[in-house]
Amino acid sequence: MKKIKLKSVLAQLLKERGVSAREVSRKTEIPQSTFNNYLSGRGPQNPEQILALAQYFGCSMEYLLFGEDIRPPTMDEVLTEGVFEGWLKVKIERAIPNKRKVKSDA
């Protein structure tokens, strides 16, 4: 069984996003004392609150709890990434055309 890393993941997300614990608590409607317990590694995790935090930070519940996504990507994620990579490849190919060597008849 994987170790729960909610404490460190939350601290990292707060730092990366430049938001305070108080602001996240207010926007997710999680009591400040409960959120502080999560940051200190104490207290049981309420699934509804973990979901609210995941939605706020734009990540999965698995990422919040374990520090990694253990689920496979969704079809939307695969399609979006594939379209972006394809678009980028086309843009690069147009910007840097292939130079083909022309054979001369001598």
In a domain, 53, yes or no: yes
Q: In Å, what is the CA distance from 57 to each residue of 24, 46, 97?
A: 9, 17, 40
pTM of the model: 0.65
**Higher model confidence: residue 21 or residue 69?**
21
CATH of the domain at 54: 1.10.260.40
pLDDT of residue 70: 67
In a domain, 106, yes or no: no
Mean residue pLDDT of the chain comes to 79
**Higher model confidence: residue 10 or residue 94?**
10
Do the Cβ atoms of 28 and 58 come closer than 8 Å?
no
Q: Model confidence over 19-58: pLDDT tens digits? A: 999 999 999 999 999 999 999 988 778 899 999 999 999 8
Return the structure tokens found at 20: 């305070």
Determine the structural domain holding residue 48 and report its residue range.
6-66
In a domain, 35, yes or no: yes
Counted domains in the chain: 1
